[in-house]
Amino acid sequence: MRLEPSGRVRCFSSATDQGQGTDTAIAQTVADRIGLALEDIEVLSGDSLMCPSGGGAWASRGASSGGEAAGRASQSMRHEILRLAGLILQR
């Protein structure tokens, strides 16, 4: 996960989308957990330089396993954004 200067979020996922909607499901999960609009989320999947092997795209497992990982990362990112915002507002 990367928060871009524009406020958009890039989510790097090893769960590849083979037409079953995995990238969309992951983007929806990230948007919901962080509190952004869906169009502010970009999912980049299948890049072996950025992510370890995702184990294939069988039985729609990408949406469940990739979505869970993205959801946990999103919660961590939201927590960190709010923590930093709190520090800035205390100044």
pLDDT mean for each 10 residues of the chain (91 residues): 95 84 93 97 81 60 81 96 95 82
- pLDDT of amino acid 2: 94
Q: pLDDT tens digits for 26-44? A: 999 999 999 999 999 999 9
Do 63 and 21 contact (CB within 8 A), yes or no?
yes
pTM for this prediction: 0.84
Q: Cα 30 vs. chain centroid, distance in angstroms?
A: 5
